[in-house]
Amino acid sequence: MSHPYLLIGVMALVTFLIRAVPLVALRRRITHPFIRSFLYYVPYVTLSVMTFPDVLGATGTPLSALAGFVAMALLAWTRRNMFLVALGGCAVVFLTELIVKIL
């Protein structure tokens, strides 16, 4: 397809339909608890799925990236503030990179 306006039109139509169909199809409030909780967590899951692959490729080795991710997840799980979580993750990545270079 070498028609850019046709491609742009198809993309616009698909984007419009994705947003308009639920609006038209769902007329009343959603009361089912499972569906409500599912829809509540969709943005967080989507952001995580888009971000996680880049996390593993952001350092020199996937091992240091994974170690930094685990350290940050543990710090966040224990409800530390965001600065401490970022600082701890960076420190673990730095130390892991040093150890990998030595070995």
For 35-50, the pLDDT digits (tens) are: 888 888 888 888 888 8
Q: Look up tokens 């996390």; give the residue.
A: 55
Write out the DSSP string of 38-88.
HHHHHHHHHHHHHHHHHHHTSSSSHHHHHHHHHHHHHHHHTT--HHHHHHH
- The model's pTM is 0.60
State the average pLDDT over residues 78-99.
Answer: 95
Give the pLDDT of residue 11: 93
Contacts of 89 (CB under 8 A, 6+ apart): 68, 69, 71, 72, 75
Q: Which amino acid is present at 3? A: H
